[in-house]
Structure 1
Amino acid sequence: MLDSFGRITWWGFSPAIDFQAIVLPAQIYVVENNLEILARQMLLLALIYEAPETIGLQEKTELFLEIFGNTLIRSQTEEYLCRKADDFIKMVTNFNYLNQCLGFLDLSNLKFAERDQLEAIFKFWRQKNPKLFEVTEMWDHRLRKHLGARYDSRQNVYDWDYNMKLHSKANIINSREYSNWRENGIAFDIREANYNIANKSLASGEIMKREGQKHYVRGYWGDIVNSPYIAFGIECEEESFFKKTNDMYLKTSQDITQYNIMAYMHEIAYGTKYQLPKDKSETENESDQLGKIQEVNEDEEDSDQTISASTEESNQALFKGLQNFKIYFLPLNSLPVLPKKSKYNKLFNIVYFSNSMVHLFKPDIQPILAHGSLIVCESAKYILELKKEQHEEFVKRVSGMAKTANCKVRQNFDGEKDNIFAYLYTP
């Protein structure tokens, strides 16, 4: 299963959760197992909080989608990635600059070696030598290794995985977009543009043995089966996206993802709920207009799509509402160590475990939990390679961990139907 799931989790394998309804203001502590993930989180956070007068909502959304879910990006997106890499190098080496540019982000808990490695990652991002990360060849290599003898009939494999595994879980994802992503790793092709430059934010390193010797190998080690659509593309508050004609959805998971990201960014920037534009001159087709988000050709330019030249020009992105909001990056795999430090004693009201990190849900974490803390574990519902008995085993495993950590089930759940498992800490 590792060949398909990947060694590094670039996107979540369940729909995004909005925790702001549970706790505000938010102080968020992040523990990951890979520095490239932290680097990518910095990039996406910086993009989200770019000032709206610096990057327009449409362009910001498209940049996010490309960076988030595409192996190949546009030249404009590469330019943005390179510029942010320059900024991030300054941020990890100068916390005053970090506070000036991304005041809601705290890197002070990272080890010196980890900050040095982050700097190296950002230096790699700004290099434009296409030979350094030949992601198209890497993607194909992963496909060949995963499919083996089935490689030559891989389109049939994609159809089988879609119809027999994915469709029942998320049928808003259509077979065409899923098959296209499986083939080339491009999830979002919103513009009529050239997606021909490797997305270096999806590169990561592995230590591998060759002929008895250890070698550092850079490659694409992420998901090649489940897809980036699940995180933002299968649930939506706007019901018009789920309308059907002849039992077929009029919109796609790409449409929903684009709307959701645009809505999130609009609310962050302006503090109001995003409303889909309506074309008053076509009131008789209003239902169609509800589901339409503007598509822009590559040649079209206007002030709403200007990408910032530097972070110094976009400091206004630090909105006043962020004064009580802070994200702390903690050292890699440091969760077992936190209970030994007094500053984390009974600190956390909510703890979220992704399904790739749930093995850390152990009794040892109890000292950091407040009484009544909510423990949320991502289910394995959307891990397509799992069989029914493996889903059942996963539920048993997580439930056993919860019990030994003095956590009781908040409400009953089904491992094959529910996105998350929720527990309450009751010592």
Structure 2
Amino acid sequence: MVDGFGAITWWGFSPALDFQEKGLEGLHVSGGDGDCEEFNVLMIGAGDCRHILKTISRKHRYPKKKINFYVIENSLEIYARHMLLLNIALESPQKMGFQEKTELFLEIYGNSLIRSHSSQYIVNKANEFIKYVTDLDYMKEMMPIFDISALKFKERDQLEAIYKFWRNPDVKVYDISKYWDDRVRKHLGVRYDNKQGAFDWDYSMKLCEKDAKIINIHVYSQWRRNGVAFETREGDYDSPNKTLASGMIFKVGGDRIAQRGYWGDIVTSPFITFGIECEEKSLLKKANDMHMKTSRDVSEYNVLSMLYELTNNEIYVMPKQDGKDGTKKEEAKLTEITEDEEEEDVNENAEEPASSESTGETAKLIQIEDVTVNFLPLSSAQELKKKSKYHQLFHLVYFSNSMVHNLTPEINTLFSERACVMLETAKFMLDLKKEQTDEFVKKVSSMAKSVGCEPQTLCNSDKDSAFLKFTFRRKDQS
């Protein structure tokens, strides 16, 4: 049976990374005295697009370089979500303001229930994506950042089926509130009748021990109860988020039965990925040893700042509050996203929900030069080594904690002559005991060593880091 972490990783169990910072730090991505023109990243099981979004939003901070992401997951629904969430990030500012984008992104990213307006956005995008996956030339023209040509024909057909399910207008076709409660009931067992006590225990005795106290207990408990993590705007959150639907095969007697439901995380929460680390230190301030802001505030700031950088190629400066002299900081930006203008924009387009099906210039997505996201066949990590075009291609390889079993000696044929290898630890897997997380670090470190990797950072316990970082260097290279 599915445990609290789930069988499908809708969001990762670690904060978002800037891969250029991690991959280029102390490394030359080619031999000799300079870097090559391309930076190739292989992501195995990341679960969401957080690393992609953070990396491409900060692309302007580094010397110009083409970035090629190669993504391997164990579920096509994750690929579908990648396309949707990155599409939101790339919506034209003339069509959707930064604040509205941020709220829509977080709502679809981490909520079981969403607003009807957001549900309609998913329907509209599903119609577009069906055209994309059935006509790759059209996809290349409209959304060139994505490349699904490596997927099998069967997988493309399944992607089309996923989008057709998303656009189904019947809200009863996916009763996520029931599915969520069923998962919580089965996970807690006899503790279900005192579930609030169980949530409080997990927060106080587990989550707070993971350097994540900024995740407010009330926010965390609400998410544990109903799966709603982000309520950034007033409204009725009553439409099921169909992007969190997936199927599983269960054995009943001697039969195998497919069942659609919610099979993701119900323990850790989506606050980890964007909500516990921040460049803006004022959001992390404490008073009386209590955080003044919550992980919702940090998540909103982080996503908004990434969307701003992605569009303007400059670092976002958070507008400061009025000072004692009544003045405002001149660097305050994003004047186009004030509440009044946001509401005016919503009212002007009330008859036509957000959709890029319109033919005007404002429907064009932001075009990010020198970035491609390549979807590879499901669970194909061990197959790549058989294809010569992938040999010594990747400058950075990322493994999630659920897919680290793919880190085998044979896979190092994919690593460039000097590569960075990032491993997600089990730090935020709350149902694991400390002894288990410590043992996980030892095990995966040993696996990395057997592949020929040397540690760049020392991490011996779940309190040290959410990641392990290694360097691979071919012995036949000087």
| TM-score band w.r.t. shorter chain | over 0.9
Query: Which residues of 2 match residues 256-275 of structure 1 at below 5 A?
Result: 256-275=298-317
Aligned to 2:470: 423
Alignment-mate amino acid for residue 84 of structure 2 = L
Q: CA distance change for structure 1 residues 75 and 211 in 2, over 3 Å: closer, same or farther?
A: same
Supply the distance in 1 between the matched residues of 2:376 and 2:325 (Cα, whole angstroms): 52
Aligned to 1:377: 423
SS of residue in 1 equivalent to 2:4 = helix
Q: CA distance change for structure 1 residues 282 and 296 in 2, over 3 Å: closer, same or farther?
A: farther
CA offset at residue 89 of structure 1?
A: 0.3
SS of residue in 1 equivalent to 2:470 = strand
C-alpha offsets along residues 337-387 of structure 1, whole Å, 9 cap, x if unaligned? 111101111000000001111111111111111112110001111111111
Q: CA distance change for structure 1 residues 182 and 282 in 2, over 3 Å: closer, same or farther?
A: farther
- Percent identity among equivalent residues? 48
Supply the distance in 2 between the matched residues of 1:284 and 1:137 (Cα, whole angstroms): 51
Within the alignment, does 1:324 sit opposite 2:370 as a pair?
yes
SS of residue in 2 equivalent to 1:5 = coil
Pairwise CA RMSD: 2.2
Larger mean Cα displacement after TM superposition, 136-145 or 404-413: 404-413
SS of residue in 1 equivalent to 2:209 = coil
Within the alignment, does 1:341 sit opposite 2:387 as a pair?
yes
Query: Which residues of 2 match residues 296-335 of structure 1 at below 5 A?
Result: 301-303=343-345, 308-311=354-357, 312-313=359-360, 314=362, 316-319=364-367, 322-335=368-381
Supply the distance in 2 between the matched residues of 1:347 and 1:42 (Cα, whole angstroms): 24
User: Does the 8 A contact of 1:191 with 1:296 survive in 2?
Assistant: no
Supply the distance in 2 between the matched residues of 1:263 and 1:80 (Cα, whole angstroms): 22
- Tell me which of 133, 136, 150 is aligned to 1:92: 133
Within the alignment, does 1:414 sit opposite 2:455 as a pair?
no
Larger mean Cα displacement after TM superposition, 22-31 or 344-353: 22-31
The number of residues matched between the two structures is 420
Aligned to 1:4: 4
Supply the distance in 2 between the matched residues of 1:422 and 1:90 (Cα, whole angstroms): 40
Q: Which has the higher helix share?
A: 1
Aligned to 1:36: 77
- With structure 2 as the length reference, what TM-score do the two structures score? 0.84
CA offset at residue 296 of structure 1?
A: 5.2
Query: Which residues of 2 match residues 123-202 of structure 1 at below 5 A?
Result: 123-169=164-210, 170-202=212-244
CA offset at residue 244 of structure 1?
A: 2.3
Query: Which residues of 2 match residues 214-229 of structure 1 at below 5 A?
Result: 214-229=256-271
Which sections of structure 2, spanning at least 5 residues, go unmatched? 25-38, 40-64
Aligned to 1:399: 445
Supply the distance in 2 between the matched residues of 1:234 and 1:389 (Cα, whole angstroms): 24
Q: CA distance change for structure 1 residues 295 and 154 in 2, over 3 Å: closer, same or farther?
A: farther
Query: Which residues of 2 match residues 212-291 of structure 1 at below 5 A?
Result: 212-280=254-322
Supply the distance in 2 between the matched residues of 1:68 and 1:285 (Cα, whole angstroms): 37
Alignment-mate amino acid for residue 264 of structure 2 = G
C-alpha offsets along residues 297-331 of structure 1, whole Å, 9 cap, x if unaligned? 9x972227855332455553232xx2211110000
Alignment-mate amino acid for residue 423 of structure 1 = F
User: Does the 8 A contact of 1:206 with 1:216 survive in 2?
Assistant: yes
Q: CA distance change for structure 1 residues 347 and 220 in 2, over 3 Å: closer, same or farther?
A: same
Supply the distance in 1 between the matched residues of 2:381 and 2:245 (Cα, whole angstroms): 25
Within the alignment, does 1:62 sit opposite 2:109 as a pair?
no
Supply the distance in 2 between the matched residues of 1:285 and 1:379 (Cα, whole angstroms): 46
Q: CA distance change for structure 1 residues 112 and 72 in 2, over 3 Å: closer, same or farther?
A: same
User: Does the 8 A contact of 2:426 with 2:437 survive in 1?
Assistant: yes
Aligned to 1:358: 404
C-alpha offsets along residues 100-133 of structure 1, whole Å, 9 cap, x if unaligned? 2211110000000000000000000000212211
Supply the distance in 2 between the matched residues of 1:146 and 1:295 (Cα, whole angstroms): 43
Alignment-mate amino acid for residue 105 of structure 2 = F
Alignment-mate amino acid for residue 346 of structure 1 = Q
Supply the distance in 2 between the matched residues of 1:187 and 1:413 (Cα, whole angstroms): 30
Which sections of structure 1, spanning at least 5 residues, go unmatched? none
C-alpha offsets along residues 49-75 of structure 1, whole Å, 9 cap, x if unaligned? 111111111111010001100000000
Aligned to 1:13: 13
User: Does the 8 A contact of 1:379 with 1:415 survive in 2?
Assistant: no
Supply the distance in 1 between the matched residues of 2:439 and 2:322 (Cα, whole angstroms): 54
C-alpha offsets along residues 380-404 of structure 1, whole Å, 9 cap, x if unaligned? 1111111111112211220121122
Aligned to 1:388: 434
CA offset at residue 87 of structure 1?
A: 0.5
Supply the distance in 1 between the matched residues of 2:469 and 2:100 (Cα, whole angstroms): 36
Supply the distance in 2 between the matched residues of 1:167 and 1:286 (Cα, whole angstroms): 36
User: Does the 8 A contact of 2:275 with 2:299 survive in 1?
Assistant: yes
Aligned to 2:32: none
User: Does the 8 A contact of 2:247 with 2:260 survive in 1?
Assistant: yes
- With structure 1 as the length reference, what TM-score do the two structures score? 0.94
Aligned to 1:74: 115
SS of residue in 1 equivalent to 2:3 = helix
Aligned to 2:252: 210
CA offset at residue 286 of structure 1?
A: 8.0
User: Does the 8 A contact of 2:177 with 2:226 survive in 1?
Assistant: yes
